[in-house]
Amino acid sequence: MGIESKTVKKKILTAEFYLLIFFIALLLLLVIIAGEFFSLNNVMNILNSASYLLIGAIGMNLIILTGNIDVSAGAIASVVAIFIAFVGKTGAPLYILLPVAMLVGATLSLINALFITWLKIPSMVATLATTQLFSGMLPLIVEGSVYGLPNSFTWLAFKAKIFNVIPASVLGAIVLAIIAIIFMKYSKFSKKIYAIGNDRSAARILGLHVGKIELSVFIIAGALYGVMATILATAGQRVTTTMGSGLEMTMIAAVVLGGTRISGGSGKILGTVLGVLILSIITPAMNYLGLSPDWSDTVMGAIILLSVIVGAISLVKKRHNMFDLKDKLSRENKV
Amino acid sequence: MCEILRLENIVKVFPGTIALDSMKLSVNAGEIHSICGENGAGKSTLMKIVTGVYRPDTGQIYLDGEKINFNNPREASKKGISIIYQETSLFEEMTILDNIFLGDEITKNILGIRCIDYESMEAETIKVFEMMNISLDFNQKVKSLGMAQKQIVEIAKALKSKSKILILDEPTASLTEREVVALFKIIRMLRDDGVAVIYISHRLDEIFEVSNRVTVIRDGKFISCRNTSDITKNDLVTDMVGRSVENYYPKFETEIGEEIFCAFKLNQFGVLHDVDLNIHAGEIVGLSGLAGAGRTELALAICGFVKIDSGEIILEGKTRRISSYLDAMEAGIVYVSEDRGKYGLVTEMSIKHNISMSQLKAMKSTLFIDNEREEKLARKYIDEFGIKCKDSDLLAQNLSGGNQQKVSVSKAISLSPKVLILDEPTRGIDINAKVEIYNIIMQLVKNGTSVLMISSEMAELIGMCDRIYVMQSGHIKGEVNRVDFSQEKLLKMALEVE
C-alpha cells in the first residue's frame, strides 16, 4: 500500500503541477498589482494570442522532441499570412483560407525537413537558412503589406465568438491541444518520436525509419504553423510581410519552459500549454507596466538560455572524461 | 537438446584484415554457450553477423534448421535473436514499459482508432517480471535505473518478444557480486525454459560456473567447442593462445639506462587501483591485458587527460604534478592515441601542418609561421620514416593507414619526448607498414627515448618489448621480463588463471 501512495503522490507533484502553481501565482500577482489590466478586451486579446501561440507551439514541441529545432517558424507564418491574404482578397471564406494555410505551411516545413533528412544538414543551420529564404522573398512579392481585405477575411477575428465574447481561436486551440495530448500518449507514432529524440542510432538499429518520422513531424508542425498564421492574419484588414517575425522565439521559449528538453527525448504537451499561458501574460503585463517590448524579448531569451544551461549541467554531471567512454567501448568491440 | 543456430564457413573480410575465416558455430536450444577469445579474435564481428548487423561475405546461417539471411538487425530480432551489449541501448527518458514494447506496442481499437493498450502491456510485463522473479516499477524512467537493472530490462524485453537466442556481451563487467548471482539465476531459468544463451566473457570463472559448452575462437578461426565439464581453464588458455610467434620483429639489444619514469600507487576511483609502473631510459615497456583492463585509462591518467585521485608520477627522480596534458608534454611524456583518425591527426590538413602542429611556437619567425621551417621539419620525418607521399602538402586523409600512423608518430617524436606512450601503434595496418613502425620504434630507443607500448597483440609485445606489465580490471597483475616471455603466461595473467 505504501508504494501505491508514493506513486500517486509522484503523479500529482509533477513538473507540470509546479508550472501551474507558478502560473496561478503570476496571475494573482498581476491581479493585485495591476487589477485594471484585466479588462474584458485585454483578457480576450490575451486568450487569442495564447491560442495561436499554443497551436504553433504544439508543432514546435514535436520538432524539438525529435532532437531538432525550427527557427523558421515565424518566417513560415509570415509567408502563409501573405499567401492567404492574396487568396482572401478574392473573398474566400475561412473554410477555404484555413486548408490553404495549412497546405502552404506544411509545404514550407517540408522544405526544411528535406534539408535535414536528405542532405543531413543540422536543423539549426537549415532552418536559419530557410528563415532568410522565406522572409527574404516576401518583400519581393509584396510592397509592405496587403490591405483592403474584405469582411470575409476577418470573420474569424471579428465575428466568430463563443457566447458573443470569447474568440473562436480559443476553441480551436483547446481542441488541438486535447487531440495532441491524447495523440502523444496513445499513438505508436509518438513513442517513435520520443525514441528518436533520446538516441537516434539506437532507434535506427531498432528499425525505426528516422527520416520518415522526422519528415512527418515537420509536415504536421508546418500545418499547425498554418493554422497559427491564419489566426494572426485574419485579425485585421491589412496583412504585413512581417506578421510572424520573431514568433519562433516565443514558441521555443514556451516549449522549453513547459519542460521539454532542448535536446529532445522528453517533454509533455501539457507542459507546453502551461508555458504558453505563462508567457502570454508576461508580455502584455510588461507592456502594461510600461516596459518596452524589448524586455519581453530579453525574457524569452533568458528562459531559453536557462533551460539550455540546466540541460548542459546535467550532461557535465556524468563523469567528465576527455575521451568519450562510449567511443572507447565501441573501439574495443571493433573486431 | 536440439541445435537452434548453426554457422558454417562464415568469412568476413574488412579492408586490411580477415575478421572471420571459415568460422563455424553451433548452439543448442536450452544451453548456455560461452564464446571465448582474445581481443581481436573476432567475437564481436561474429555476433554482429548473428544479429544481422553485418552480412557474411560467404557462408551459411541456419536457424532452427532453416537457411536464413539477415538484411538488417530488425530482421534478426524478429526471428528471435536478441543481444544485450555492455552499454545498454535503452531510451533513458522513456519508461521501462515503453522501452520493453518500443516498436511493438499492443494496441486496441477505440472508435476505429488504434490506441496503445497500456493495461495489456502492463499485464504482460508483470508476467515476464514474475517469470524472472523480479519487481520493478515499470512506469519509472530508465535513466533512474542502475546498470544491473537496465540489463534486467533488456532481458525482459528479449523475453517479451519470445527470443529463442539471447546473446550477452560481457554482461558482468559493471555488476556487483550479488548482481552477478541474480543475473546467473535468471540466465539459468531462461536456459531451463529452452532459450539458447550465448555468453561472451573474459571471466573464465564465470564461464565455468554458468555455461554448458564453450567455443574458443582465435584470429577469426574456429578452434574448439567443448563441454565445460570436460576441460580445465588451462585448456581454454592453450586454445586461445596456441599460435606460433612470427619472427619479423626487428628487435635488437639496446642500452637500457637508469629508471627515468615511475608511476607510484596511482589510483582513480573505479578505474585504476594502486598501479605501480616504471620505465628505464632506452627501454620498451609493454602494457598487456584484455579489453577493459584499464591500459588506455592508465595512459590517460599518466598524461593528465583525466585526474587521478592519489599517487605520484616521478620523472627522472623528481615528482611532477601533472594536471593536464600540457604538463605531461612539458615533462617529456607524449601520448599517441590508438584512434589516429580522431585524436592523432587532422585528416583534412596536410602532412606538413600535422607534423608541425604540436610545436607551432618553434615554427614562428617574428609574427608568422615560417613555411620553410615547417617544410624542413616535415621533410626530416618524411625521409627518416619513409612516409610515402609526393610532397608534404598531401592531405593526411589521402595516406594509407600505415603512413598516417607514421605522421601521427612523427608529430609526437618531434617534441623529443623522454617517454613516448604508443596506444595500439599498429592497429589496422598491414604487415609491411607494421615492420616499418617497429623500425621507427627501435630507432627511437637507440637514441635514448623510452617507449611504453600498449597493445592487444601479444605477439607484438613479446617481439618488441624488454618488459611487459599485465593489467586486469585496473590492477597491475604482474610483470614479466623478456627472458620469461610467453603468450600463455601473459594471457593467464590477464585472465587470472592459477
B399/B245: higher pLDDT: B399
In a domain, A183, yes or no: yes
In a domain, A192, yes or no: yes
Number of domains chain A is built from: 1
In a domain, A12, yes or no: no
Q: What does DSSP say about strands B333-336 and B419-423: parallel, antiparallel, or unpaired? A: parallel
pLDDT category, A302, cuts 50, 70, 90? confident
In a domain, A147, yes or no: yes
Copy the grid coordinates of residue B235.
585448456
Instruction: Give the CA radius of gyration of chain A.
Output: 21
Which residue(s) pair with B277 in the sheet? Answer: B263
Q: Which of B189-203, B259-273, B421-435 bottoms out in mean pLDDT, i.e. has the lowest?
A: B421-435
In tens, the pLDDT along B100-150 reads 999 889 999 988 889 999 999 999 999 999 888 888 898 999 988 888 889
- Number of Cβ atoms within 10 Å of the Cβ of B191: 20
Transcribe A53-114 into DSSP letters: HHHHHHHHHHHHHTT---TTHHHHHHHHHHHHHHHHHTT--HHHHHHHHHHHHHHHHHHHHH
- Asked if A256 contacts A272 with a C-beta cutoff of 8 angstroms, the reply is no
Query: Which domain covers residue A227, as residue numbers?
Result: 39-300
- Residues of chain B contacting A, Cβ within 8 Å: 17, 19, 39-42, 44-45, 53, 72-74, 77, 85-87, 89-94, 98, 102-103, 105, 107, 114-116, 137, 139, 169, 291-292, 296, 300, 305-306, 337-339, 342-343
Within 8 A by CB and 6+ apart from A275, the residues are A19, A57, A253, A254, A255, A256, A257, A258, A259
Burial code of B196-213, b = ≥16 C-beta within 10 A, e = fewer?
bbbbbbbbbebbbebbbb
Residues of chain A positioned with their CB less than 8 A from the CB of B42: 335
Above 90 in pLDDT, residue A128? yes
In tens, the pLDDT along A41-99 reads 888 889 999 999 999 999 999 999 999 999 999 999 999 999 999 999 898 899 999 99
Nearest to B338 by CA among A321, A319, A332, A325: A332
Above 80 in pLDDT, residue A311? no
In tens, the pLDDT along B234-293 reads 888 888 877 655 567 888 888 888 999 999 999 998 889 999 999 999 999 999 998 788
- Asked if B335 contacts B423 with a C-beta cutoff of 8 angstroms, the reply is yes
In a domain, A15, yes or no: no
Above 50 in pLDDT, residue A326? no
Cβ burial of B235 (10 Å; 0-12, 13-18, 19+) is: middle
The per-residue pLDDT of chain B, averaged, comes to 89
CATH code of the domain containing A153: 1.10.3470
pTM score, whole prediction: 0.79
Site from B45, B54, B87, B102 to mutate, A interface, most A CB atoms within 10 angstroms:
B102
* Conformational region of residue B417, where left means phi above 0, alpha means psi within -120 to 50, and beta covers everything else: beta
Specify the DSSP class assigned to residue B95: B
Nearest to B409 by CA among B344, B465, B350: B344
Instruction: Identify the pLDDT of residue A176.
Output: 97
Phi, psi of A321 (to 5 degrees): -145, 135
In a domain, A22, yes or no: no
In a domain, A294, yes or no: yes
Q: For cell 531569451, what's the residue?
A: A301
**Å from A275 to nearest chain B CA?**
21
Above 60 in pLDDT, residue B223? yes
Instruction: Identify the pLDDT of residue A211.
Output: 95
In a domain, A2, yes or no: no
Within 8 A by CB and 6+ apart from B105, the residues are A188, A191, B116, B117, B121
Instruction: Identify the pLDDT of residue A9.
Output: 58
